[in-house]
């Protein structure tokens, strides 16, 4: 029986090889990819985040844990993205300017892709101008922004303002998320929606486009 707590522990310990092995084993045993993600990998990141906040680990520890998480996520990704039906909805998603945290954004991106949407992942540290050009030139109908550092949330506001200034606000729905982000903040900056996690992000996009959830 797959031991998902061992996956969390090895994420915390930054043991990428072990994480890779355990994630593969769990998949082979038929454990659902989303369960492995939430109860194994994400749980490990929560633990390391708490330790970082309490000065029990420092930046190098955080970096190796993030690397281990990403190794596991890479193995899970094909199982998270299993949808056959492709929707015509185009989504441009990225972590906002100044912010390099991309693990959560990568999960949201994979889940949206898995749900059949056409996702363009812009990576991290994405400028407002880049988002605007994805709407104007790339035809994005949804812009998804992620932020993990509280001060970088301001870049979400700046991006919405840039979209308004470029005259394309009516062409796009803006959705935001990330650990410090809230529905209240989304309302305040004029975003069309907020999602707490990747599953809710998929539901939100479906709702915004009138698909059944």
Q: Which residues bind ligand B1M (CB under 6 A)?
A: 42, 45-46, 48-49, 52-53, 59, 62-63, 66, 93, 98-105, 107-108, 144-146, 148-150, 175-180, 195, 197-198, 201
Cα Dmax for the chain = 55
Residue placing its CB nearer to ligand B1M in the complex, 9 or 84: 9
Say which residues have a Cβ less than 8 Å from residue 46's Cβ, sequence separation at least 6: none
CB closer to ligand B1M out of 2 and 152:
152
How far is residue 54's CA from residue 61's CA, in Å, rounded to a whole number? 13
Closest approach of Cβ 210 to ligand B1M, in Å? 19
Q: Minimal CB distance to ligand B1M: which residue? A: 104
CB of 41 to ligand B1M, least distance (A): 7
**Which tokens in the block code for residue 84?**
């056959």
Nearer to ligand B1M, 39 or 99 (CB): 99
The torsion angles phi and psi of 124, rounded to 5 degrees, stand at -120, 175
Closest CA to 105 of 119, 88, 86: 119
């Amino acid at each position: 029986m797959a031991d998902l707590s061992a996956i969390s522990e090895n994420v915390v310990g930054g043991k990428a090889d072990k994480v890779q092995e355990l994630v593969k084993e769990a998949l082979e045993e038929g454990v659902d990819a989303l369960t492995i993600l939430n109860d194994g990998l994400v749980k490990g990141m929560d633990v390391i985040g708490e330790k970082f906040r309490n000065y029990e680990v420092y930046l190098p520890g955080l970096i190796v844990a993030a690397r281990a998480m990403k190794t596991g996520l890479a193995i899970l990704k094909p199982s998270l993205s299993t949808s056959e039906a492709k929707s015509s909805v185009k989504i441009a998603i990225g972590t906002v300017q100044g912010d390099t945290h991309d693990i959560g954004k990568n999960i949201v991106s994979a889940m949206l892709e898995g749900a059949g949407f056409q996702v363009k992942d812009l990576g991290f540290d994405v400028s407002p101008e880049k988002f605007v050009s994805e709407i104007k030139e790339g035809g994005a109908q949804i812009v998804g922004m992620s932020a993990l550092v509280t001060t970088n949330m301001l870049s979400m506001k700046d991006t919405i303002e840039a979209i308004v200034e470029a005259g394309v606000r009516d062409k796009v729905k803006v959705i935001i998320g990330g650990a410090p982000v809230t529905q209240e903040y989304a309302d305040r900056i004029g975003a069309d929606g907020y999602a707490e996690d990747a599953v809710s992000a998929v539901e939100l996009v479906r709702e915004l486009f009138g698909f059944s959830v």
